[in-house]
Chains A and B, each alone.
Chain A
Amino acid sequence: MIDPTTTDAPVIELRGAGKTYRSGSIEFEALKGIDLAIHAGEYVAIMGPSGSGKSTIMNVLGCLDTLTRGEYRLGGTDVNDLDEVELAEIRNRQIGFVFQGFNLLSSLPAWRNVELPLIYGGVPRHERKLRAEQSLERVGLGDRFDNRPGELSGGQQQRVAVARALVGEPTMILADEPTGNLDSVSTQDVLALFDELHARGRTIVLITHELEVARRAARVVWVRDGEILRDELNEDVAA
């Protein structure tokens, strides 16, 4: 269900993307020059076992790490040329992170956690609270604004994290093993939320090693040893 207004230009584009880690004299090639294009509104799962390079892809897509060769364009901008301050701004505007370990600040109530990206985006205070609450309502936590993370279940905490990822209206949601710390009920809960976001036209990139999770995405990119093995549409989901 791709938004008909989007142009042909992909929001995410990797071209000959390579990443080599150096530790002393030892070199490790984590990405061996991959090409990948993701369009607006797509729901893509990047699937592979540990050590396959999928975490490296996640870090590169999230502008947390830079490529050693090749090109990464996010929303038309070449990310490799940017300095640390500009990268921070890109992360703030374009990417909504959802982590395996939730990464909520335990001392802050739910809405304060959700407003964090808006603080760094320079959104005024009164507007932040409003948008944080709207975002929490959108993930079904309309009655949990003032609860601290410790007072919420794992599934609810991950919903808060999703609300935080959504609040800045980013170009894409980047989820790194979002169900890795959840029981099966909460896993279904969070995956249903992703389905819903996808249905509403969000661009979602999900990194996982679980087939069951990857099957929920419209498109699955199989990664192994730093290379893309298969890139296929999921017939059940893809419209």
Chain B
Amino acid sequence: MSWLESLRTSWSAVYSHALRSALTVLGILIGIAAVILTVGLGLGTQKDVSAQISSLGSNLLIVAPGSSTDTAGVRGGFGSSSTLTIADAEALASTVNAPDISGVAAEKTTSLSLEANDTNWTTSVTGTTTSWLDVRARTLSTGEFISAEDEETSAAVVVLGSETADELFGTQRVVGQSVVISDKTFQVIGVLDSAGSDSSDNLDDLAIVPFSTAASVLVGGTESAAVSTIYLQAASDGQLSAAYQEAETLLLNLHSITDSTAADFTISSQDALVSTATAVYETLTILLTGVAGLSLLVGGIGVMNIMLVSVSERTREIGLRKALGAPPGAIRRQFLIEAAILGLSGGLLGAILGVTAALVLPGVIGSSIVVSPAAVGLSIGVAIVIGVSFGVYPATRAARLAPIDALRSE
């Protein structure tokens, strides 16, 4: 009996039990679709996170205050007190002390209420310097950014994020309008281009004022010189680690700390953030894929169950085929092909469902899903392997049936 004949016989068996076959296929289908989707979602999220972190700017080092050690040797938590000042930022900007650092932008951020034409909007108000635009790799959609002169004169000017501008002024022309922050009137001089949001912040909802203005007018008091973050830009990708060294040495000196493990600041690079985030999402992907794989295994057990039912239900048929001259090999092959058909159909339909969902879902859940052809091909292969390997036992049982016993069974 040729393979083609076996295939015809098996197909007609699958076809004549359409509902049962469909339910078995469904088990495999769900497993395959789940694997494709979870792997895709994992890869997609990794890509999103990397993109968001990169959107902060290029060749960036981020200096955050914190981890200060008090006299009793107890280390404060990250960001527990502001140990960085504008003086640190100015020192880092010096080309003599830190030749590999090409740009420095200190940020002083507080959450404040903005008021314009009876509209109130609370957002993060950031005091910073002219270099911010370059260091953070942002652009303006209209108007201009804070100038050195604004910084010197503590001018009452503000640059708004695109979303903030929308909330306060809607469709009106924004540049030239006035905004009241902490009872002081600021003039809007520019609006930033949209940059989306990263994992923790909405990059489009913010207000930027000159650092000096923020220090004297908005925050004041002892905290006036403190900054919340300093962004450093290395001159090139290759100078990133040199820039890191210079920044660390300089800040340790300025803060009179000899032991670098006792530093009252933390420097992290964009690459470190990317690799940390990637590692986290990789672990998550593996975990989810494992769960999806389990459902695939359950699907495979479903195939075996159905094949066993099929063998015992068709004992008479097997006996008859043997009496008419079917050798054991032909019977085994018939049932193996039947199992493979179930596996393959489940794999193909599951791949179609998975890929379709991967195309449709990102619009609904707002996270990208990356469909890798390797994952699709592999899952179809796995589905066939599952079908066949879970079919081996039932098929062997069928092949071993003695024809007289099989013929007599009711």
A-to-B contact residues, CB < 8 Å: 59, 62, 64-65, 84-85, 88-89, 91-93, 97, 99, 103, 105, 107-108, 116-117, 119-122, 164, 168
A99 to B404, CA, bound (A): 12
- Nearest first, the 7 closest Cβ-Cβ pairs linking A and B are A92-B325, A120-B325, A88-B327, A107-B16, A85-B327, A117-B324, A103-B320
Inter-subunit contact A88/B320 (CB<8 Å): no
Q: Could you tell me the distance between the alpha carbons of A119 and B8 in the complex, rounded to whole angstroms?
A: 11
What distance in Å separates the Cβ of A18 from its nearest Cβ neighbour in chain B?
Answer: 18
Which residues of A have CB within 8 Å of B9? 119
CA of A62 to CA of B328 in the docked complex: distance in angstroms?
A: 17
B residues 136-151 touching A (CB-CB < 8 Å): none
Please state if B329 and A91 are interface contacts (CB–CB under 8 Å). no
Q: Chain B's interface: helix, strand, loop or mixed, by majority?
A: helix
* B404 close to A65 (CB less than 8 A): yes
Which residues of B lie under 8 Å from residue A92 when comparing CB positions? 324-325
Shortest C-beta distance, B389 to chain A (Å), equals: 25
A50 CB, min distance to chain B CBs, angstroms = 14
CA distance in complex: A99, B403 (Å): 13
Whether the Cβ atoms of A103 and B316 lie closer than 8 Å is yes
Contact of B324 among A65, A84, A91 (CB under 8 A): A91
| B132–chain A nearest beta-carbon distance, Å | 77
Chain B, 318-341, contact with A by CB distance < 8 Å: what is the 0/1 string? 011111111111100000000000
Which residues of chain B are near A168, meaning CB under 8 Å?
325
**A116: chain B residues within 8 A (beta carbon):** 320-321, 324
Q: Which of B16, B325, B407 contacts A89 (CB 8 A)?
A: B325
B1 interfacial contact with A, CB 8 Å: yes
**Considering only CB atoms, which chain A residue lies closest to B17 in the complex?**
A107
Beta-carbon contact of A91 and B323 below 8 Å:
yes
Whether a CB of chain A sits under 8 angstroms from the CB of B197 is no
**Complex Cα spacing A116 to B2, Å:** 13
Apart from A62-B323, A93-B325, A103-B320, 5 more pairs, CB < 8 Å: A88-B322, A97-B323, A99-B407, A107-B16, A120-B326
How distant is B322 from chain A, measured CB to nearest CB, in Å?
7
Contacts of A64 on B, CB cut-off 8 Å? 323, 403-404, 407
Q: Tell me if B167 is interfacial: C-beta within 8 Å of chain A.
A: no
Question: Given A103-B316, A120-B1, is A84 in contact with B327 using a C-beta cutoff of 8 Å?
Answer: yes
Mind listing 29 A-B residue pairs with CB under 8 Å?
A59-B404, A64-B403, A85-B327, A85-B328, A88-B326, A88-B328, A91-B325, A93-B325, A97-B324, A103-B316, A103-B319, A103-B320, A103-B323, A103-B407, A105-B320, A107-B12, A107-B16, A108-B12, A116-B320, A116-B321, A116-B324, A119-B1, A119-B5, A120-B1, A120-B324, A120-B327, A122-B1, A122-B2, A164-B324
Contacts of B1 in A (CB 8 A): 119-120, 122
Q: Does B317 contact A (CB under 8 A)?
A: yes
CB proximity of B117 to chain A, nearest CB, Å = 79
- Chain B 209-235 interface mask (CB, 8 Å, partner A; 1/0): 000000000000000000000000000
Kindly list chain A residues whose C-beta atoms are within 8 Å of the C-beta of B330: 120
Q: Roughly how many angstroms separate A168 CA and B2 CA in the complex, as a whole number?
A: 18
Q: How far does the Cβ of B319 sit from chain A's closest Cβ, in whole Å?
A: 8
Q: Least Cβ distance of A23 to chain B in Å?
A: 14
In the assembled complex, the Cα of A99 lies from the Cα of B407 at a distance in Å of 9
CB proximity of A128 to chain B, nearest CB, Å: 10
Give Cα A117–Cα B328 distance, bound, in whole angstroms.
Answer: 15
Point out the residues of chain A lying under 8 angstroms from B319, CB to CB. 103
A105:B324 contact, CB within 8 angstroms: no
CB distance from A90 to the nearest CB of B (A): 8
Chain B residues lying within 8 Å of A85, measured Cβ to Cβ, are 327-329
Which residue of chain A lies nearest to B322 when distances are taken between CB atoms in the complex?
A: A88
Question: What's the least CB distance linking B330 to chain A, in Å?
Answer: 7
Question: Which chain A residue shows the least CB distance to B325?
Answer: A92
Q: Chain A nearest CB: distance from B308 CB in Å?
A: 20
> A164 contacts which chain B residues (CB < 8 A)?
324
B401 to nearest A CB, angstroms? 11
Residues in B whose Cβ lies below 8 Å from that of A103:
316, 319-320, 323, 407
Chain B nearest CB from A209 CB (Å) reads: 17
Give B320's nearest chain A residue, CB to CB. A103
Determine the distance from Cα of A122 to Cα of B16 in the docked complex, in whole angstroms: 24
B18 smallest CB distance to A (angstroms)? 11
Q: Which residues on A sit within 8 Å (CB–CB) of B16?
A: 107
> Assuming the A-B contacts A99-B407, A119-B1, A120-B1, are A105 and B326 also in contact, with contact meaning beta carbons closer than 8 angstroms in the complex?
no
Give every chain A residue within 8 A of B324 (Cβ-Cβ).
91-92, 97, 116-117, 120, 164
Enumerate chain A residues within 8 angstroms of B12, measured Cβ to Cβ: 107-108
Q: Which B residues touch A65, using CB under 8 A?
A: 404
Q: In the complex, which residues 1-21 of chain B have their Cβ closer than 8 Å to any Cβ of chain A?
A: 1-2, 5, 9, 12, 16
Kindly list chain B residues whose C-beta atoms are within 8 Å of the C-beta of A89. 325, 327
Q: Which of A119, A121, A122, A164 has the most CB of B within 10 A?
A: A119
Give the distance in Å from the alpha carbon of A159 to the alpha carbon of B2 in the complex.
28
Residue of A nearest to B319 (CB): A103
Chain A residues lying within 8 Å of B317, measured Cβ to Cβ, are: 105
Interface string of B371-410 (1 = CB under 8 A from A): 0000000000000000000000000000000011001000
Q: What is the bound-complex CA distance between A102 and B72, given in angstroms?
A: 97
B324 — nearest CB in chain A belongs to which residue? A117
